[in-house]
Amino acid sequence: MKIEIDPGAGPCFGVEKAIEKAEFILKEKSVLYTVGDLIHNEAEVERLEKLGMKTIAMEQAISGDYPNVLFRAHGEPPSSYDSVKKAKVEVEDATCPIVVSLQKKIAKTFSEIKDGKGQIVLFGKKRHPEVISLMGHCDDKAIVIANIEELELIDFSIPIYLFSQTTKYRSEYYLIKEKIEKKLDELNLLASSQFSFNDSSCKIVARRDEQLRNFVEDKDLIIFVSGTKSSNGRQLFQICKNTGIETYFISRIEDLNREWFVAKNNIGISGATSTPKWLLEEMSLRVKELVSES
Protein backbone atom coordinates (compact mmCIF):
# COMPACT_ATOMS: atom_id res chain seq x y z
CA MET A 1 0.00 0.00 0.00
CA LYS A 2 1.22 3.50 -0.89
CA ILE A 3 0.43 6.42 1.43
CA GLU A 4 1.32 9.85 0.04
CA ILE A 5 1.01 13.35 1.52
CA ASP A 6 -0.03 15.96 -1.03
CA PRO A 7 3.09 18.11 -1.71
CA GLY A 8 0.82 21.10 -2.32
CA ALA A 9 -0.93 20.80 1.05
CA GLY A 10 0.10 22.69 4.16
CA PRO A 11 -0.20 26.28 5.40
CA CYS A 12 -0.03 29.15 2.94
CA PHE A 13 2.45 32.01 3.40
CA GLY A 14 0.11 34.19 5.46
CA VAL A 15 -0.94 31.40 7.82
CA GLU A 16 2.63 30.26 8.29
CA LYS A 17 3.80 33.78 9.17
CA ALA A 18 0.91 34.28 11.61
CA ILE A 19 1.79 31.05 13.41
CA GLU A 20 5.47 32.02 13.55
CA LYS A 21 4.59 35.44 14.99
CA ALA A 22 2.34 33.86 17.63
CA GLU A 23 5.03 31.35 18.59
CA PHE A 24 7.66 34.09 18.85
CA ILE A 25 5.48 36.20 21.16
CA LEU A 26 4.60 33.16 23.30
CA LYS A 27 8.29 32.43 23.82
CA GLU A 28 8.75 35.97 25.14
CA LYS A 29 5.48 36.25 27.07
CA SER A 30 3.40 33.84 29.11
CA VAL A 31 0.17 34.65 27.30
CA LEU A 32 -1.09 35.95 23.94
CA TYR A 33 -4.60 37.11 23.02
CA THR A 34 -5.79 36.87 19.42
CA VAL A 35 -8.82 38.77 18.15
CA GLY A 36 -10.84 35.97 16.58
CA ASP A 37 -9.41 32.61 15.54
CA LEU A 38 -5.78 33.07 14.54
CA ILE A 39 -6.32 30.54 11.75
CA HIS A 40 -9.17 28.20 10.83
CA ASN A 41 -7.71 24.97 12.13
CA GLU A 42 -8.77 23.64 15.53
CA ALA A 43 -5.78 21.33 16.01
CA GLU A 44 -3.25 24.10 15.44
CA VAL A 45 -5.20 26.54 17.61
CA GLU A 46 -5.30 23.97 20.41
CA ARG A 47 -1.53 23.44 20.14
CA LEU A 48 -0.95 27.19 20.47
CA GLU A 49 -3.45 27.43 23.33
CA LYS A 50 -1.34 24.94 25.27
CA LEU A 51 1.54 27.39 24.84
CA GLY A 52 -0.56 30.24 26.26
CA MET A 53 -2.62 31.64 23.39
CA LYS A 54 -6.22 32.68 24.06
CA THR A 55 -8.93 33.86 21.66
CA ILE A 56 -10.95 36.97 22.48
CA ALA A 57 -13.48 39.25 20.77
CA MET A 58 -12.74 42.83 19.64
CA GLU A 59 -14.92 44.17 22.47
CA GLN A 60 -12.61 42.44 24.95
CA ALA A 61 -9.47 43.65 23.18
CA ILE A 62 -10.40 47.30 23.49
CA SER A 63 -11.27 46.96 27.18
CA GLY A 64 -7.61 47.36 28.03
CA ASP A 65 -7.63 44.27 30.24
CA TYR A 66 -5.76 42.08 27.77
CA PRO A 67 -2.03 42.58 27.09
CA ASN A 68 -0.27 41.16 24.02
CA VAL A 69 -3.17 41.45 21.57
CA LEU A 70 -2.64 40.01 18.09
CA PHE A 71 -4.61 40.67 14.89
CA ARG A 72 -4.99 37.49 12.84
CA ALA A 73 -3.82 36.60 9.32
CA HIS A 74 -7.17 37.40 7.68
CA GLY A 75 -6.81 41.10 8.43
CA GLU A 76 -9.01 43.68 10.11
CA PRO A 77 -10.97 46.69 8.82
CA PRO A 78 -9.69 50.21 9.63
CA SER A 79 -12.33 50.52 12.35
CA SER A 80 -10.53 47.84 14.38
CA TYR A 81 -7.27 49.78 14.29
CA ASP A 82 -9.12 52.98 15.22
CA SER A 83 -10.73 51.20 18.18
CA VAL A 84 -7.51 49.80 19.65
CA LYS A 85 -5.73 53.12 19.10
CA LYS A 86 -8.50 55.01 20.90
CA ALA A 87 -8.37 52.46 23.73
CA LYS A 88 -4.54 52.83 23.81
CA VAL A 89 -4.07 49.09 23.33
CA GLU A 90 -0.84 47.97 21.72
CA VAL A 91 -1.41 45.38 19.01
CA GLU A 92 0.84 43.00 17.11
CA ASP A 93 -0.31 42.58 13.53
CA ALA A 94 -0.19 39.16 11.84
CA THR A 95 -2.19 40.20 8.76
CA CYS A 96 -0.95 38.38 5.66
CA PRO A 97 1.21 40.79 3.57
CA ILE A 98 -0.78 39.82 0.46
CA VAL A 99 -4.01 40.84 2.22
CA VAL A 100 -2.42 44.13 3.32
CA SER A 101 -1.46 44.87 -0.29
CA LEU A 102 -5.01 44.16 -1.46
CA GLN A 103 -6.49 46.34 1.29
CA LYS A 104 -4.37 49.26 0.03
CA LYS A 105 -5.39 48.70 -3.60
CA ILE A 106 -9.07 48.65 -2.70
CA ALA A 107 -8.74 51.77 -0.55
CA LYS A 108 -6.94 53.61 -3.37
CA THR A 109 -9.50 52.55 -5.95
CA PHE A 110 -12.38 53.55 -3.69
CA SER A 111 -10.91 57.01 -3.18
CA GLU A 112 -10.73 57.47 -6.96
CA ILE A 113 -14.25 56.33 -7.88
CA LYS A 114 -16.41 58.09 -5.32
CA ASP A 115 -19.47 60.07 -6.46
CA GLY A 116 -20.70 57.41 -8.86
CA LYS A 117 -17.54 57.09 -10.95
CA GLY A 118 -17.50 53.33 -10.54
CA GLN A 119 -18.20 50.35 -8.33
CA ILE A 120 -15.93 47.87 -6.59
CA VAL A 121 -16.93 44.24 -7.05
CA LEU A 122 -15.33 41.72 -4.72
CA PHE A 123 -15.37 38.01 -5.50
CA GLY A 124 -15.45 36.25 -2.15
CA LYS A 125 -17.48 34.91 0.74
CA LYS A 126 -19.51 37.71 2.33
CA ARG A 127 -18.98 36.74 5.99
CA HIS A 128 -15.37 35.61 5.64
CA PRO A 129 -13.01 37.54 7.97
CA GLU A 130 -10.80 38.63 5.08
CA VAL A 131 -13.76 39.97 3.11
CA ILE A 132 -14.97 41.86 6.18
CA SER A 133 -11.52 43.45 6.46
CA LEU A 134 -11.49 44.36 2.76
CA MET A 135 -14.97 45.85 2.90
CA GLY A 136 -13.81 48.14 5.67
CA HIS A 137 -11.36 49.74 3.25
CA CYS A 138 -14.17 50.93 0.98
CA ASP A 139 -16.73 51.97 3.59
CA ASP A 140 -18.53 48.62 3.15
CA LYS A 141 -19.74 49.76 -0.28
CA ALA A 142 -18.28 47.00 -2.45
CA ILE A 143 -20.59 44.49 -4.12
CA VAL A 144 -19.64 41.02 -2.86
CA ILE A 145 -20.37 38.13 -5.22
CA ALA A 146 -19.84 34.48 -4.32
CA ASN A 147 -20.45 33.00 -7.77
CA ILE A 148 -21.42 33.67 -11.38
CA GLU A 149 -25.13 33.63 -10.53
CA GLU A 150 -24.66 36.78 -8.45
CA LEU A 151 -23.32 38.85 -11.37
CA GLU A 152 -26.86 40.22 -11.61
CA LEU A 153 -26.02 42.35 -8.55
CA ILE A 154 -23.65 44.44 -10.69
CA ASP A 155 -24.74 47.65 -12.41
CA PHE A 156 -23.16 47.29 -15.85
CA SER A 157 -23.93 50.90 -16.76
CA ILE A 158 -21.06 52.21 -14.63
CA PRO A 159 -17.37 51.19 -14.54
CA ILE A 160 -16.57 47.93 -12.74
CA TYR A 161 -13.44 47.40 -10.65
CA LEU A 162 -13.09 43.69 -9.92
CA PHE A 163 -11.04 42.27 -7.03
CA SER A 164 -10.88 38.83 -5.45
CA GLN A 165 -10.53 37.54 -1.91
CA THR A 166 -6.92 36.31 -1.88
CA THR A 167 -7.84 32.68 -1.19
CA LYS A 168 -10.18 32.29 -4.16
CA TYR A 169 -9.07 30.09 -7.03
CA ARG A 170 -7.81 31.53 -10.29
CA SER A 171 -10.04 29.22 -12.35
CA GLU A 172 -13.22 30.58 -10.72
CA TYR A 173 -11.99 34.17 -10.75
CA TYR A 174 -11.09 34.16 -14.43
CA LEU A 175 -14.43 32.62 -15.31
CA ILE A 176 -16.16 35.55 -13.59
CA LYS A 177 -13.89 37.93 -15.50
CA GLU A 178 -14.88 36.31 -18.79
CA LYS A 179 -18.60 36.47 -17.94
CA ILE A 180 -18.38 40.19 -17.11
CA GLU A 181 -16.55 40.89 -20.37
CA LYS A 182 -19.13 38.90 -22.31
CA LYS A 183 -21.99 40.79 -20.65
CA LEU A 184 -20.37 44.13 -21.48
CA ASP A 185 -19.95 43.03 -25.07
CA GLU A 186 -23.64 42.07 -25.26
CA LEU A 187 -24.50 45.57 -24.02
CA ASN A 188 -22.17 47.12 -26.64
CA LEU A 189 -19.96 48.55 -23.91
CA LEU A 190 -16.19 48.63 -24.18
CA ALA A 191 -14.47 46.51 -21.54
CA SER A 192 -11.31 48.60 -21.94
CA SER A 193 -13.08 51.66 -20.54
CA GLN A 194 -15.80 49.99 -18.45
CA PHE A 195 -13.94 47.19 -16.71
CA SER A 196 -10.79 47.00 -14.55
CA PHE A 197 -9.58 43.53 -13.56
CA ASN A 198 -7.20 43.13 -10.61
CA ASP A 199 -5.40 39.81 -10.29
CA SER A 200 -5.56 39.88 -6.50
CA SER A 201 -5.74 36.19 -5.62
CA CYS A 202 -2.74 34.74 -3.77
CA LYS A 203 -0.39 33.18 -6.33
CA ILE A 204 0.30 30.22 -4.02
CA VAL A 205 -3.36 29.47 -3.38
CA ALA A 206 -4.69 30.49 -6.82
CA ARG A 207 -3.82 27.23 -8.57
CA ARG A 208 -4.29 24.97 -5.57
CA ASP A 209 -7.48 23.51 -7.05
CA GLU A 210 -5.68 22.45 -10.24
CA GLN A 211 -2.75 21.02 -8.29
CA LEU A 212 -5.11 19.03 -6.05
CA ARG A 213 -6.92 17.49 -9.03
CA ASN A 214 -3.57 16.31 -10.38
CA PHE A 215 -2.59 14.83 -7.02
CA VAL A 216 -5.76 12.79 -6.49
CA GLU A 217 -6.18 11.39 -10.00
CA ASP A 218 -4.31 8.11 -9.33
CA LYS A 219 -5.60 7.60 -5.76
CA ASP A 220 -8.35 5.24 -4.63
CA LEU A 221 -8.86 6.95 -1.26
CA ILE A 222 -8.35 10.52 -0.06
CA ILE A 223 -8.10 11.65 3.56
CA PHE A 224 -8.75 15.39 3.55
CA VAL A 225 -7.60 17.15 6.72
CA SER A 226 -9.08 20.55 7.54
CA GLY A 227 -10.50 22.70 10.27
CA THR A 228 -14.30 22.73 10.32
CA LYS A 229 -14.37 26.54 9.96
CA SER A 230 -12.14 26.64 6.89
CA SER A 231 -14.05 27.69 3.76
CA ASN A 232 -10.92 26.90 1.76
CA GLY A 233 -10.96 23.40 3.23
CA ARG A 234 -14.59 22.83 2.30
CA GLN A 235 -13.93 23.96 -1.28
CA LEU A 236 -10.91 21.68 -1.68
CA PHE A 237 -12.73 18.75 -0.09
CA GLN A 238 -15.57 19.19 -2.58
CA ILE A 239 -13.05 19.12 -5.44
CA CYS A 240 -11.89 15.71 -4.18
CA LYS A 241 -15.47 14.47 -3.83
CA ASN A 242 -16.38 15.63 -7.32
CA THR A 243 -13.70 13.39 -8.82
CA GLY A 244 -15.69 10.36 -7.63
CA ILE A 245 -12.78 9.13 -5.50
CA GLU A 246 -13.71 7.95 -2.02
CA THR A 247 -12.91 10.95 0.21
CA TYR A 248 -13.23 11.61 3.94
CA PHE A 249 -13.16 15.03 5.63
CA ILE A 250 -11.53 14.88 9.06
CA SER A 251 -10.11 17.36 11.54
CA ARG A 252 -8.50 15.10 14.12
CA ILE A 253 -6.49 11.89 14.14
CA GLU A 254 -9.24 10.28 16.22
CA ASP A 255 -11.58 10.64 13.25
CA LEU A 256 -9.68 8.01 11.24
CA ASN A 257 -11.45 4.69 10.73
CA ARG A 258 -9.53 1.46 10.09
CA GLU A 259 -12.32 0.12 7.85
CA TRP A 260 -11.73 2.88 5.28
CA PHE A 261 -8.42 1.35 4.23
CA VAL A 262 -9.53 -2.21 3.51
CA ALA A 263 -8.59 -3.25 -0.06
CA LYS A 264 -7.11 0.20 -0.81
CA ASN A 265 -3.77 0.44 -2.58
CA ASN A 266 -3.05 4.13 -3.10
CA ILE A 267 -4.01 6.53 -0.31
CA GLY A 268 -3.61 10.29 -0.55
CA ILE A 269 -3.56 12.70 2.38
CA SER A 270 -4.28 16.35 1.64
CA GLY A 271 -5.48 19.44 3.46
CA ALA A 272 -6.51 23.07 3.47
CA THR A 273 -4.18 26.07 3.30
CA SER A 274 -4.59 26.40 7.07
CA THR A 275 -3.75 22.77 7.83
CA PRO A 276 -0.31 22.46 9.48
CA LYS A 277 2.30 20.10 8.03
CA TRP A 278 2.81 18.40 11.38
CA LEU A 279 -0.84 17.32 11.42
CA LEU A 280 -0.62 15.86 7.91
CA GLU A 281 2.50 13.92 8.93
CA GLU A 282 0.82 12.60 12.09
CA MET A 283 -2.17 11.54 9.99
CA SER A 284 0.14 9.62 7.66
CA LEU A 285 1.80 7.80 10.56
CA ARG A 286 -1.56 6.90 12.08
CA VAL A 287 -2.87 5.57 8.76
CA LYS A 288 0.19 3.32 8.52
CA GLU A 289 -0.51 2.03 12.04
CA LEU A 290 -4.14 1.30 11.26
CA VAL A 291 -3.23 -0.51 8.07
CA SER A 292 -0.66 -2.65 9.86
CA GLU A 293 -3.16 -3.52 12.59
CA SER A 294 -5.82 -4.74 10.17
Query: What residues are annotated to the active site?
Result: 130
Least Cα distance to 158 among 106, 205, 214, 117 occurs for: 117
Cα 153 from Cα 180, distance rounded (Å): 12
SS3 string, the chain, reads CEEEECCCCCCCHHHHHHHHHHHHHHHHCCCEEEECCCCCCHHHHHHHHHHCEEEECHHHHCCCCCCCEEECCCCCCHHHHHHHHHCCCCEEECCCHHHHHHHHHHHHHHHHCCCCCCEEEEECCCCCHHHHHHHHHHCCCCEEECCHHHHHHCCCCCCEEEEECCCCCHHHHHHHHHHHHHHHHHCCCCHHHHEEECCCCCHHHHCHHHHHHHHHCCCCEEEEECCCCCHHHHHHHHHHHHCCCCEEEECCHHHCCHHHHCCCCEEEEEECCCCCHHHHHHHHHHHHHHHHHC
